[in-house]
């Protein structure tokens, strides 16, 4: 029989009663029980602390979501939510204790079983969220709850979604957010600019968003003009917040901009095109071109797109109009996403010279950009750099990325990252470090390429592990063939057995390999799995979800615990994920 119970969460509380209930009673725990089981009288008991108040709407929504998911997946009927001093919690209750003085690691939690209660403790709301999810999973897998202490290996556990080349519906992205959260992943990168399209509405340039099938990278031309509106993005950000998933915008430049270059060139094909950025009017004369080109010994050749020869892959970084236009776009999206609470930004920087023809095959492509070299030397000289005459084309790229970092951090972003293949590239550029890449730019490490991860770590950069061999799902014909020649280790079982956030070399996945890093390295900020859509219509979004989930779950569990596979076979792991099933839908009352 229950003691006199505190108030049910969400009901009005008289001021004098609330004052009493806010006094937290930290009763010493009795001898710990081995396991905890649900009972017909189980309640969710939300303990009041200085860090856990009923006036916290986000925390209230989180606990209501927990109640809904517990009901949907386990109990079949709502256990009810009660709020008050911890001393009022009773036998069979699930006690939720959020208190920063507990000094539990970020996103971590502790589950104790004592006095017939299951107590979930955390120092932050994220940890309490994951602790509640763990309780549900334990009940689904074994029917009981055991004590445990958990905290994630990787601080950021994300998925990068190519929504530039393929349109994904809002409902599908919401399902993805739920599945990310259900697997304890905490970030979704919306990669919305690509060679075939722009996936998010621009208010400044209403003609930009959409897709162009003539730029397709496979044999068939695919055209899907749909894109996400800014109102839909705002809805998705709110939805993701409920699931403790942050949204990270990704606008890739100066490469992968075939579509943008084509659309811009169309604007000035027959008439001058003008736009204003940062108080200055820029005009592209009729018939002009903002795409890049090779320039060497007085000769010119277009820098062809990744697999399309009609449009340049990159903008010309020595063209002030081209860079101002892209900066104006980045500023628009950066301001918009930051207004929604986003604090991280991906500025791209990968593959900007593509795979097209150059002028002289005996000279590295980076050294066939005389116009960039002139720009770099002129700017370095103007800045008073003593070694300005050593500047090469690559220094222009360093200037560009540093300028973008300054732009987005000036708009309030606290974390900025770029892809690693063209970062600190000296092997074929002739770079003499006239302009250094800002060390505050974090590195998306996706390919061994010219550098190992140690090259970045030794230079003082922090990194994210998105190693393509294990962590890419790609809509290409080859990916689904038996003779896959790229991303060969991107199978759920291989990810589970071989990869973790500290493995950066597919040829040497041993933890002690010189090209990897030690477990727990604080410079490894997180990990990511990526979905790429080279051929957007190769799979439906439903097929993408079905094929993605096993890999996503394998990545997620290793991002949370790098050694999880040492104590649980892959077969046992799949049995557990099968028992947990798909993420449940939220109650309508919590939807934004």
Q: Which of 151, 167, 187 is the C-terminal boundary of a domain? A: 151
Check whether residue 65 and residue 203 sit in a common domain.
no
Which of 109, 224, 115 minimizes the C-alpha distance to 164? Answer: 224
Looking at the domain assignment, is residue 530 inside a domain?
yes
Determine the pLDDT at residue 304.
67
Same structural domain, 548 and 442: yes
Range with the poorest average pLDDT among 214-223, 307-316, 324-333, 425-434? 214-223
Q: Please tell me the predicted confidence (pLDDT) of residue 238.
A: 97
CA angle 375-376-380, nearest 5°?
A: 120
Mean pLDDT of 206-228: 80
Is 359 a member of any domain?
A: no
**Of 96, 123, 151, which marks where a domain is finished?**
151
Mean pLDDT is lowest, of 264-268, 284-288, 510-514, for: 510-514
The pLDDT of residue 10 is 40
Whether residue 282 lies inside any domain: the answer is no
Number of independent structural domains in the chain: 2
Least confident of 134-143, 304-313, 329-338, 529-538: 304-313
Q: What is the pLDDT of residue 28?
A: 34
pLDDT tens for residues 388-423?
A: 999 999 999 999 999 999 999 999 999 999 999 999
Tell me the mean pLDDT in the region 516-520. Answer: 94
Specify if 262 maps to a domain. no
Give φ, ψ of 140 to 5 degrees. -70, -35
Q: Using a CB cutoff of 8 Å and minimum separation of 24, what contacts does 379-385 make?
A: 380/434, 380/435, 385/434
Residue among 114, 239, 223 nearest 170 (CA): 239
- Residue 302's pLDDT band (cuts 50, 70, 90): confident
Domain boundary among 135, 151, 167: 151
**pLDDT range class, residue 312, cuts 50, 70, 90:** confident
Same domain for 537 and 440, yes or no, is: yes
3 state SS of 547: helix
Residue 213 confidence (pLDDT) = 77
Band the pLDDT of 8: cuts 50, 70, 90.
Answer: low
Q: How far apart are CA 338 and CA 358, in angstroms?
A: 40
Of 482 and 460, more confident:
460
User: Over 80: is that where the pLDDT of 336 sits?
Assistant: yes
Statement to judge: residues 565 and 436 lie in one domain:
yes
pLDDT given at position 20: 26
205 and 56 inside one domain: no
**Integer angstrom CA distances of residue 407 from 347, 401, 441:** 10, 10, 12
447 part of a folded domain: yes
Examine residue 331 and state whether it is found in any structural domain, yes or no.
Answer: yes
For residue 165, the domain's CATH number is 3.20.20.80
Region 457-474: what's the mean pLDDT? 98
- Percent of the chain exceeding pLDDT 70 equals 92
Asked if 423 and 553 sit in the same domain, the reply is yes
Q: Are 191 and 346 in contact (CB under 8 A)?
A: yes
Least confident of 24-33, 412-421, 432-441, 580-589: 24-33
**Can you give the pLDDT at residue 511?**
85
Catalogue the long-range contacts made by 456-462 (C-beta closer than 8 Å, 24 or more residues apart). Answer: 456/420, 456/423, 456/424, 457/517, 457/521, 457/523, 459/424, 461/423, 461/424, 461/437, 461/523, 462/523, 462/524, 462/525
- pLDDT class of 219 with cuts at 50, 70, 90: low
37-56 mean pLDDT? 95
Q: Which of 135-149, 259-273, 282-296, 347-361 has the lowest average pLDDT?
A: 347-361
Beta strand ranges found along 87-184 (DSSP E): 94-98, 109-114, 117-122, 148-150, 156-162
Give residue 105's domain range: 7-151
From 40-44, 184-188, 449-453, the region with the lowest mean pLDDT: 449-453
- 30 pLDDT above the threshold of 60: no
CATH number at residue 74: 3.30.379.10
Lowest-pLDDT choice from 26-40, 44-58, 173-187: 26-40
Instruction: Please give the model's pTM, rounded to 2 decimal places.
Output: 0.94
Q: Are residues 335 and 452 in the same domain?
A: yes
Token readout for 558 is 């290793």
Closest CA to 129 of 83, 39, 179, 64: 64
HSE, CB side, 13 Å, CA atoms: give it for residue 198.
Answer: 25
Average pLDDT over residues 37-54: 95
Q: Do both 83 and 224 map to the same domain? A: no
- 340 and 453: one domain? yes
pLDDT band at 55 (very low <50, low <70, confident <90, very high): very high
Please provide the DSSP assignment of 2-24 as one string.
Answer: --S--EETTS---HHHHHHHTS-
What is the structure's pLDDT at 546? 98
Distances (CA, A) of 443 to 416, 429, 446: 9, 19, 9
pLDDT digits (tens, 9 = 90+) for 526-543: 999 999 999 999 999 999
Same domain, 169 and 238: yes
* Residue 338 located in a structural domain: yes
In-domain check, residue 297: no
CA 304 to chain centroid: 29
- The average pLDDT across 161-188 equals 98
Query: Is residue 3 scored above 70 in pLDDT?
Result: no
- Specify whether 477 is located in the same domain as 556: yes
pLDDT in tens, 260-282: 999 999 999 999 999 999 999 99
Q: How far is CA 519 from the centre of its chain?
A: 21
Residues 73 and 185 grouped into a single domain: no
Indicate the range of 143-147, 220-224, 242-246 predicted with least confidence. Answer: 220-224
CB atoms within 10 A of CB 426: 14
């Amino acid at each position: 029989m229950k003691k006199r119970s505190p108030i049910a969460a969400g009901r009005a509380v008289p001021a004098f009663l609330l004052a009493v209930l806010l006094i937290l009673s930290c009763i010493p725990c009795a001898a710990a029980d081995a396991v905890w089981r649900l009972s017909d009288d189980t309640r969710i008991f939300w303990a009041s602390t200085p860090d856990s108040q009923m006036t916290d709407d986000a925390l209230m929504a989180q606990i209501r979501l927990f109640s809904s998911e517990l009901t949907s997946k386990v109990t079949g009927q709502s256990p009810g939510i009660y709020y008050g001093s911890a001393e009022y919690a009773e036998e069979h209750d699930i006690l939720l204790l959020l208190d920063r003085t507990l000094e539990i690691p970020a996103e971590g939690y502790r589950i104790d079983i004592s006095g017939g209660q299951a107590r979930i403790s955390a120092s932050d709301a994220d940890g309490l969220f994951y602790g509640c999810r763990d309780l549900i999973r334990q009940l689904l897998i074994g029917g009981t709850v055991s004590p445990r202490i958990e905290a994630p290996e990787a601080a950021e556990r994300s998925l990068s979604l190519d929504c530039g080349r393929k349109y994904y519906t809002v409902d599908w992205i919401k399902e993805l957010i739920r599945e990310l959260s259900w697997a304890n992943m905490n970030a979704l990168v919306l990669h919305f600019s690509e060679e075939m399209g722009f996936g998010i509405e621009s208010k400044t340039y209403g003609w930009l968003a959409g897709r162009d099938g003539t730029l397709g990278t496979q044999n068939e031309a695919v055209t899907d003009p749909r894109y996400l509106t800014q109102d839909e993005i705002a809805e998705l950000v709110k939805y993701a917040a409920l699931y403790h998933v942050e949204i990270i915008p990704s606008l890739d430049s100066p490469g992968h901009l075939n579509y943008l270059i084509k659309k811009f060139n169309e604007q000035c094909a027959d008439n001058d095109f003008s736009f204003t950025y940062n108080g200055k009017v820029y005009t592209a004369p009729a018939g002009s071109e903002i795409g890049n080109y090779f320039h060497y010994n007085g000769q010119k050749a277009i820098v062809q797109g990744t697999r399309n020869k009609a449009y340049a892959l990159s903008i010309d970084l020595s063209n002030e109009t081209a860079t101002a236009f892209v900066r104006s776009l980045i500023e628009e999206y950066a301001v918009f996403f930051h207004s929604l609470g986003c604090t991280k930004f991906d500025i791209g920087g990968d593959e900007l010279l593509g795979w097209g023809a150059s002028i002289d095959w005996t000279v590295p492509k980076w050294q066939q950009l005389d116009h960039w070299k002139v720009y770099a030397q002129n700017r370095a000289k103007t800045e008073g750099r003593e070694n300005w005459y050593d500047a090469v084309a690559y220094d222009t790229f360093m200037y560009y990325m540093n300028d973008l970092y300054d732009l987005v951090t000036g708009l309030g972003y606290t974390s900025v990252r770029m892809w690693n293949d063209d970062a600190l590239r000296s092997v074929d550029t002739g770079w003499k470090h006239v302009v250094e890449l800002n060390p505050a730019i974090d590195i998306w490490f996706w390919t061994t390429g010219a550098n190992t991860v140690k090259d970045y770590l030794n230079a003082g950069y922090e990194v994210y592990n998105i190693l393509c061999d294990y962590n890419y799902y790609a809509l290409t014909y080859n990916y689904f063939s038996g003779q896959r020649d790229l991303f060969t280790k991107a199978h759920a079982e291989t990810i589970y057995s071989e990869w973790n956030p500290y493995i950066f070399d597919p040829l040497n996945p041993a933890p002690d390999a010189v090209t990897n890093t030690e477990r727990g390295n604080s410079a490894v900020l997180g990990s990511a799995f990526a979905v790429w859509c080279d051929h957007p219509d190769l799979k439906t979004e439903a097929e993408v979800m079905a094929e993605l989930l096993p890999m996503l779950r394998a990545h997620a569990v290793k991002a949370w615990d790098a050694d999880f596979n040492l104590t649980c076979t892959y077969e046992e792991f799949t049995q557990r994920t099968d028992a947990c099933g798909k993420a449940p839908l939220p109650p309508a009352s919590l939807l934004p």
